[in-house]
Chain A
Amino acid sequence: MSRALSVLTTLFGISLFVFFVLRVIPGDTITSSLGIETGALTPEQIDVLRAYYGIDQPLVGQYISWMTSFLSGDLGFSYSTGAAVSELTKSALLVTIELALIGTVLGVIMGISIGMFSARKPGSIRDFAGQLFGLLALAIPGFVLSTTIVTVMANRFQYFPNGYEYMSPTEDLWMNLQQMLFPGLVLGIAVAAPVMRTTRSALLETVDKDFIRTAIGKGLKPRVVRLRHVLRNSLIPIVTMTGIQFGYLLGGAVIVEKIFALPGMGRQILDAINKREYATVQSSIMVFAILFVTINLITDLVYRRVDPRIK
């Protein structure tokens, strides 16, 4: 209950932030939609336009009307195409969520395997290799990795599914998965690094526990001990880390979507920023933040399930 309340206050705070802080945009709706032609308008014409867009109202009134239409699902219209932002957002959200899920799955698989690979023999060459992977995966920016992949795949192998028009999973699942593979991999590598580090240290910590010694003493196969006893008891920090990373991954999606031409939320926001469609920017950022808060809430709930000790 208190959890739900705190999520609500956070969302309220986010809406205030998006509305008031991000408003300090140079110029207002009129200058941003008409550009330099605004200079040709008479003061009367500007007043009429201001009334039309509702920006002659006091800020609080504007906030309330923005929030009311936002909550009723009306996110405004794109000036350049006239399309409803809510419709654009619906399809964009699905793209970003699919990308984030694929990235997380790939990242968790890589992170846990490399973490286990490293933890088998701490201090060995393979541990060093695993840790080097973790270090580089944290340090190489997603845009560097993406640009490199695009260059190598398109020029060396003439294979670049993202060069074609984007296909949603319902239109062409096979094409969709190919288009999601590389961006998902880039995001996955970023997730894998911290997951790998957490896995490694959690495993090393668990291995020293008495019940593991007992399990080995009982004569269980090392493989069984590793998977059923050690890994399972190390899952809590791993799940937490994955949840935290999911959020970072959504941020990374902004850049990756742009490079791989995926029509997701990140690209929608970037396009709107470039076209100075600031109502779209505002609503899309709000939607993105809600998605982010929701994911954090889900992580929290999953976390409680994985560890029954947390009530």
Chain B
Amino acid sequence: MSNRRERGWVHYYFQSTSGIVGLALVVIMVALSLISAFGLAPHDPLEQNPVNALQGPNGIHWFGTDQFGRDIFARSIDGMRRSLSVAILSVSLAAFFGVLLGVIGGFFGRWIDSLVVRSSDVIFAFPAILLALAIVNSLGNSWIDTSIAIAIVYTPIFIRVARGPVLSVKEMDYVKSVRVLGFSTQRILLKHIAPNVLAPIVVQIALSLSWAILTESGLSFLGLGTQPPDASLGLMVSEAQPLAAFAWWALAFPSIFITIVVVGLNLVGDGLRDALDPARRSS
């Protein structure tokens, strides 16, 4: 039974063109970051070569070079690797703690729940980028610090997503009846409640990855997070600002990379939402 359902949503996901396009964009970006991660890029992202400074896109430097003669393609895929690493770590942390707190709050209720809800209200009271900025400013600029900051910002969203279904499922007859049967709390949570919150969380993970990438690149654009000479997409845009009038490629390629990965993740998120929610399946 469960096998058939799983085949079901994958099947529905691939029914939608935008879902396939989104997945393809994300896969391309992940593949490019892996190339950079394994050092297989055609150039070193940090290698300066003043003789070749500010070349337009050509056969050797596909995306051109920046003011230090560094290869923009190598830097873009390295920046993508960094953005994706931060996004994956921060969203994993946020999803783990958010779901844990949301389920605990929703399931146990009372003061535990009020504490969880109040704390997430406090985090919600800050614009995301501002909060991330303030936390990174306190923690430091490593990619782990950036990830922790972004994780704190997006944890309440997962709390909200997980808590809602728990609250409604908890009152349903089948959960009440296994409770009466004397099943352990752990078993009820894992076997009966977890499957019901899974779908919205999966969707939320895809969307949060895209927000995390936007937040990370925003932070590095502002000079927090990744520091020069390391490559980061936001930092590259900020460094390209004074050059953009005569070296459009320095601005265009990192910008396009951010846009592509965010579009991809949003399409994947929308596709998953439609595929996982039986009510939204059109065909």
Interface residues of A (CB under 8 A from B): 6, 9-11, 13-14, 16-18, 21-26, 135-136, 138-144, 147-148, 150-151, 154-155, 247-248, 250-252, 254-255, 258-259, 266, 269-270, 273-274, 281, 285, 288-289, 292-293, 296
**Interface flag for B189 (CB, 8 Å):** no
Please, which residue of chain B has its CB at the minimum distance from the CB of A142? B218
Report, nearest first, the 3 A-B pairs whose CB atoms are least far apart: A251-B127, A13-B122, A139-B262
Of A17, A140, A144, A269, the most chain B CB neighbours within 10 A belong to A144
Q: Is the CB of B130 within 8 A of A251?
A: yes
Residues facing A in B115-158 (CB within 8 A) are: 118-119, 121-123, 125-130, 133-135, 137-140
Query: Is the CB of B190 closer than 8 A to any CB of chain A?
Result: no
Is A255 a contact of B127 with CB atoms below 8 Å?
no
22 A-B pairs, CB-CB below 8 angstroms? A13-B118, A13-B121, A14-B126, A21-B138, A135-B263, A139-B258, A140-B255, A141-B234, A141-B255, A141-B262, A143-B237, A147-B237, A147-B255, A151-B244, A155-B245, A248-B127, A251-B128, A252-B129, A255-B218, A269-B130, A273-B224, A289-B126
**Shortest Cβ distance from B23 into chain A, in angstroms?**
15
**Taking the nearest CB of chain A, how far is it from the CB of B181, in angstroms?**
37
Docked-complex contact A10 and B210, CB < 8 angstroms: no
Q: What is the minimal beta-carbon distance from A11 to any residue of chain B, in angstroms?
A: 8
Within 8 A of A (CB), among B197-256: 210, 214, 217-218, 221-224, 234, 237-238, 240-241, 244-245, 251, 255
Residues from chain B with Cβ under 8 Å of A252 in the complex: 127, 129
**Among the listed A25, A140, A274, which residue makes an inter-chain contact with B138, where contact means beta carbons less than 8 Å apart?**
A25
Q: Min CB distance, B247 to chain A, in Å?
A: 10
Q: Which residues of B contact A288 (CB under 8 A)?
A: 126-127, 130
Tell me which of B126, B135, B255 contacts A148 (CB under 8 A): B255
Q: Give every chain A residue within 8 A of B266 (Cβ-Cβ).
A: 135, 138-139
**A13 & B241 in contact (Cβ 8 Å cutoff):** no
CB proximity of A2 to chain B, nearest CB, Å: 13
Q: A151 with B259: in contact, given A10-B122, A22-B138, A143-B238 (CB under 8 Å)?
A: no
Q: Which of B127, B139, B224 is packed against the most chain A CB atoms within 10 Å?
A: B127
By beta carbon, the residue of chain A nearest B260 is A139
Contact of B130 among A26, A142, A144, A254 (CB under 8 A): A254
Cβ A254 vs Cβ B127 within 8 A: yes
- Chain B positions within 8 Å of A251 at CB level: 127-130
Tell whether, in the assembled complex, residue B128 and residue A10 are in contact, meaning their CB atoms are under 8 Å apart: no
Q: How far apart are the CA atoms of A251 and B237 in the complex, in Å?
A: 19
- Find A289's partner among B118, B125, B128, B237 (CB 8 Å cutoff): B125
A254–B224 alpha-carbon span in the complex (Å)? 13
Residues from chain B with Cβ under 8 Å of A273 in the complex:
133, 137, 224
* B241, A147: Cβ atoms closer than 8 Å: yes
Residues of B contacting A259 in the complex (Cβ-Cβ under 8 angstroms): 241
Q: Which residue of chain B is the closest to A6 with respect to CB atoms?
A: B121
What are the residues of chain A within 8 A of B238 when measuring CB–CB? 143, 147
Whether a CB of chain A sits under 8 angstroms from the CB of B267 is yes
| B148 to A: closest C-beta gap in Å | 11
For the complex, what is the distance from the CA of A86 to the CA of B258, rounded to whole Å? 38
> Is the CB–CB distance between A21 and B135 below 8 Å?
yes
Q: How far is the CA of A285 from the CA of B200 in the complex (A)?
A: 32
Complex: chain B residue closest to A288, CB-CB: B130
Expressed in whole angstroms, the minimum distance between the Cβ of B16 and any Cβ of chain A is 13
Is A151 a contact of B267 with CB atoms below 8 Å? no
Decide if B262 touches A143 in the complex (CB within 8 Å). Answer: no
CA distance A18 to B133 in the complex (A): 12
Q: Which of B133, B251, B262, B263 contacts A269 (CB 8 A)?
A: B133
Instruction: Provide the residues of chain A in CB contact with B263, threshold 8 Å.
Output: 135-136, 139
Contacts of A248 in B (CB 8 A): 127-128
Q: Which of B139, B214, B244 is in CB contact (< 8 Å) with A147?
A: B244
Q: How far, in Å, is A187 (CB) from chain B's closest CB? A: 12
- Residues on A with beta carbons closer than 8 Å to the beta carbon of B133: 254, 269-270, 273
